[in-house]
Amino acid sequence: MDLFHEDHPAWLAQVDEAIIDPEQAIIDPHHHLWPDMMGDIYNVDELALDTSAGHKVIGTLFIECGTCYREDGPEQEKPLGETEYVLAQAARIKALNLGAPILGMVGHIDLRDTSTLDATLDQHIALAGDFFKGIRHAGASAREEDRESLLIPGAAPGDLYLLPEFQAGVRRLGERGLSYDTWHYHYQLGDYIALAKACPDTTMILDHFSTPLGVGSFAGQHDAIFDSWKDEMRELSSCPNVFLKLGGLAMPDNGFGWHLAERPPTSDELLDAQGRWYKHALDCFGPSRCMFESNFPVDRLSLSYAVYYNAMKKLAADFSADEKDALFAGTARRVYRLIH
């Protein structure tokens, strides 16, 4: 799959919109950093260009993505390399005043490994202190017939959320005051609901709307997927420990095809295509349990940072000032215990 246009920044720049409500403070609670992202680079220099593109981004949160793992040592300690890397990048942003600071991070541990879980958490926290906010151990499990169609085929066991040892690991995060993030596919939402009910004292954050797919065997199925998804999201909202990140629908695996188009979408086109997913999630969970996420650089394959946040500001136009503050910064600040 040819992911990047020959001059990707120039391709993104074809859609140049005036920044809406430039004084609205934003904490972006979901981005990654990669020294090499499928042949491209997205590090703090590239992040700074996006967070300085006109919106008032006052801070960000790094989410694990398997980058810069240690090459040697016990398997459960290899993700410590990512924590070390992110700390160094956050320090570089501050030292060079590159833009919005990274306020915290969510790292990775295999939550099934209950025998080493606490010791490995202690190592992450010894490195990062309060900068370390939680764990993402993704539940995404791709079906074999769809693997070749997916840009990022999730490799988790299909029954991960139902495993007793995994549920024990998620509960342990809550006992230690840490949060649990995950992403998975739309057909796994029922198992995630079971996990949320089994771990009521752990703050859980669902990324990317449960990733409704639009490629492979799910190509052209958005309407049918939405009909079942909306009922499950309503059920999930009855779990008060669950929060949502609203974004990540512009990944190629969602099937909107923008990364292959002659130009990226405008903010209006994004809302025309995806607005119903955002509106239903907000109707179920409300602004106090939702936060807008860029999911960059993965969604950057399809649209620019300025356009994404313009779309979110249009979406939130009828909300009160307090509700907007929650969606753009306050919920993230509270859920991840961020200080700015």
What is the model's pTM?
A: 0.96
Angle (CA) 135 138 141, round 5°: 170
Q: How far is CA 118 from the centre of its chain?
A: 25
Q: What is the CATH number of the domain that holds 274?
A: 3.20.20.140
CB 253 within 8 A of CB 213: yes
Max Cα separation, the chain?
Answer: 53
Residue 154 in domain: yes
Q: Please state, as a whole number, how many other Cβ atoms lie within 10 Å of the Cβ of residue 261.
A: 13
Instruction: Look at residue 74 and tell me if it is in a domain.
Output: yes
Q: Among candidates 167, 241, 250, which has minimal Cα distance to 212? A: 250
Number of domains in the chain: 1
In order along its 340 residues, the chain shows pLDDT tens digits of 456 677 899 999 999 999 999 999 999 999 999 987 666 789 999 999 999 999 999 999 999 999 999 999 999 999 999 999 999 999 999 999 998 999 999 999 999 999 999 999 999 999 999 999 999 999 999 999 999 999 999 999 999 999 999 999 999 999 999 999 999 999 999 999 999 999 999 999 999 999 999 999 999 999 999 999 999 999 999 999 999 999 999 999 999 999 999 999 999 999 999 999 999 999 999 999 999 999 999 999 999 999 999 999 999 999 999 999 999 999 999 999 998 7
Examine residue 90 and state whether it is found in any structural domain, yes or no: yes
Q: 271 lies in a domain?
A: yes
Cβ atoms of 206 and 244 within 8 Å: the answer is yes
> Per the domain annotation, does 215 fall within a domain?
yes
Q: Which domain holds residue 29?
A: 8-15+23-335
**Local structure of residue 101 (DSSP, 8 states):** P
Q: Does residue 2 sit within a domain? A: no
What are the backbone dihedrals phi and psi of residue 217, each rounded to the nearest 5 degrees, phi first? -70, -10
Burial of 18 (0-12, 13-18, 19+ CB in 10 A): exposed
Residue 115 lies in a domain: yes
- Is residue 194 assigned to a domain? yes
Distance CA 50, CA 44 (A): 10
